[in-house]
Amino acid sequence: MTAPVGLSTQEAAVRLAKNGPNILDSRSRNSAWKLLLRQFESPIILILFAATIISMFLGEVTDGIIILAIIVPSGLLGFWQEHRASKTMESLLNQIHIHVEVIRDGKEITIPIEEVVVDDLVALRAGDLVPADIHVVQASGLMVDESAMTGESFPREKAVGEIDAAKPLAQRGSELFYGTHVVSGVGQGIVIKTGRDTEFGEIAQSLNSRDVTTGFERGTTAFGMLLLKAMIFLVSALFIVNMFLHRPIIDSLLFSLALAVGLTPQLLPVIISVSLAAGAKRMAQKQVLVKRLDAIEDFGLMTALCTDKTGTITAGAIRLDGALDPTGEVNERVLELAFLNAKSQKGFINPLDAAIVSSVGTKFTEAKVLGEIPYDFERRRLTVLVDDHGPLMNTKGAFASILGICTNVRVGKELKPLAPMMTELQNLFQEISSQGNRVLGIATKSVTAQARVSIDDEKEMVFEGILVFHDPLKPDAKEAIEELAMLGIDLYMITGDNRFAAKSIASQVGLPSEVVLVGADISALDNDALNEKVKRCRVFAEVDPIQKERIILAVRASGATVGYFGDGINDAAALHAADVGISVDTAVDVAKNAASIVLLDKDLRVIAQGVSLGRTTFVNTMKYVRVGVSAAFGNVVSMAIADIFLPFLPMLPMQILLLNFMTDFPAIAISGDQVDSEDIIKPRAWDIKAIRKFMIYFGLLSSVFDIVTFIVLRRGFHAPDTLFRSGWFIESTLTELAVMMVLRTHRRFWRSKPGKGLFWSSLILAVTTIAIPFTGFGSVIGLAVPPLNLLIILFGLIGIYIVLNEIAKKYWMK
């Protein structure tokens, strides 16, 4: 059994070594092998392997070895790039830490969540993620959000008791579950299960066996299906034609399969992984950590950003500017009451209390704490019971919440009824709030000696005064909002602060503030009415967590892709409701866990930079998709036409595979390509219709030039099979490289500078392609040395092809 002091450090280390870290996913040691094997699991690749082996048995040993020597390095290239991308993401995710407070050797210490072991004694406070399955041994107002486990939207109070495993999860009142989080209160508990053994771990393992498809993956799948349909039709037709022409069945099969490899998106997963991982790495350099690669697309698609004002629009450097009595005069007693409340409460660590304690210094002494009613977002206040010349309830919270539990007001040494002074107090509150200040109320009530207090005791209290907090605007807040607007992103300010402060802050940074929607109004609206309201409103005040979530859903209903930036306990639901949940590395655990993007700097400009980088990453991915597929489609159509009219195969399978392998290198370099500024001004998404149109138009244009090349080779040079294949090998590769330079940009291609990796890899490949027929390797793979006049004509055709693509993209490339 665990002693009240928890485990010793030594015992915890032994258990960690024996049972392993407290994680849900156990990454297999064979994951690298699985990644390698995945490069060769495509049915087309497997059939190609089989057909190649058969051809070797039938005597074509040299050709078979060459084909295998091309397929295997191509797979290894894909493996190396994907493995590197995986390692990059792993290192980035390691920067996001969730810590847990445990009692070890009788002291409370902070450890990474992975180091929690069975029988650890865990301390829990508001905002903490429950790090394991835990048996509660101490609780004070401990309210836990279990919606991740039970689907119940309202927090559940937890108390000390026995565990009954036979009961449903929602009825286990003395047990906490991994993946849930503390909404309010404090508690301690003993860990009974960790990692995959937890209730959440069992659910996660069952979910891992299902395919959960993201929007990015759906776009990728739709694109793959487009190519698959085209490939099946063209390649099957080509194989039938070859059979009809009585060509050798194995050669025909290998030729058809080689074309299928060229047309199918074999490299697409690699390109996407490399491009997104490279984007994630660049975003990390700009203080933006991506937890899921597919979130980059959603980040780039964002058209609305919902955020609190603290730390984003304001500096987040909250200071206490005044402790005033109900008449607005500075009052030392109000300041002392604020200090006692802030210093005594343990259930809700927050910057307002830190500002109070910091401003007081050593002026006042602490009082003995007799009890506490922790803060929650429904009451919007917290109470401590202290020994201040007798038991005294000391309650601090939102101004309206405090007024609602008071019946009297302290003016000097007199107690006066609240009702006659209500208008005067409201005017004081509005005047101070309208200057952009946050205002809290504070109240007291003397009680008889008692061990604890409850929410029912928060009534008939004395209003003592107000606390005035100021959080200055960030100097560049207005410019940051304008920068977001230039990217097509509307900012919505959602705050729990009062309407007057919210309106003041919004007007200072240029947000439309004529209409301010408050929590009470939101509660009175149904979803349809709220959807209409948010179209005309950018500032929301006095909202609770449920209302935040409703606002997010309403903005989404307008057709916007919504990002939500939050770092507090009350932000978890909104982070889940948004298309993109954004938090910061200093956020409470539950917010970091719910977010898909974590910032290392709480700044709107960092978000703007991240959005730009996200869009850059997606634009580069689309370059490969559009240009690669149109070139491949054009080649297959050209092959099909040539195959019908030529007395020999237009290219050998090994030549097709070599061409595909070599063009993989510039394709991978696309991930680091330069992107024109106008391409990231607005969000972009998968558009299969546009890709199909691009593929057909530019693919057929490519085929026209291929056919012209065929005519030049056969009619002009009377080229035999080896020279024909050399000419087309050079023309096909160089046109694909040239068209990448032209179609990678909407500008005139000479006005858009390509990335160094793309430029140099393309140049090296062009030189290599021209050189191959002049080498011994060229003769081995069946290529002949082309005459100089043929090369000059091919270069001329390629030049004309570049000009026509430059003209065509004005009409066909949107």
**Residues taking part in catalysis:** 308
Phi-psi region of 578 (alpha: psi -120 to 50; beta: other; left: phi over 0): beta
Nearest to 493 by CA among 347, 630, 355, 312: 312
CA distance 293 to 283: 11
CA distance 469 to 320: 5
What stretch of H or E contains 494? strand 490-494
Where would I find the beta strands (DSSP E) of 566-656?
580-584, 597-599
Strands 490-494 and 304-307: parallel
Report whether 422 contacts 403 (CB < 8 A).
yes
CA distance 352 to 317: 10
For 197-228, b/e burial (b = at least 16 CB within 10 A) is: ebbbbebbeeeeeeeeeeebeebbeebeebbe
At a CB cut-off of 8 Å and minimum separation 6, what does 76 contact? 36, 39
Tokens of 755: 């990335």
Report whether 590 contacts 127 (CB < 8 A).
yes
Report whether 403 contacts 463 (CB < 8 A).
yes
Nearest to 543 by CA among 509, 581, 516, 514: 516
End-to-end CA distance of the chain: 69
Report whether 597 contacts 616 (CB < 8 A).
no
Taking every pair of Cα atoms in the chain, the longest distance, rounded to a whole number of angstroms, is 113
Question: What stretches of 673-720 show up as alpha helix (H) in DSSP?
Answer: 688-711
Token look-up 């997010």 returns: 552
CA distance 137 to 122: 10
Long-range Cβ contact pairs of 756-760 (< 8 A, separation 24 or more): 756/672, 757/669, 757/672, 757/673, 758/666, 758/669, 758/670, 758/672, 758/673
Report whether 213 contacts 170 (CB < 8 A).
no
CA distance 729 to 727: 5
Where would I find the beta strands (DSSP E) of 10-158?
99-104, 107-112, 121-125, 133-145, 156-157
3-state secondary structure of 412: coil
CA distance 532 to 555: 9
Tokens of 51: 């057909």
Nearest to 346 by CA among 394, 383, 389, 388: 383
DSSP 8-state code for residue 646: S
Nearest to 596 by CA among 570, 564, 620: 564
Tokens of 472: 């200055």
CA distance 486 to 480: 10
Nearest to 276 by CA among 664, 619, 757: 619
CA distance 445 to 463: 9
Residue type, 337: L
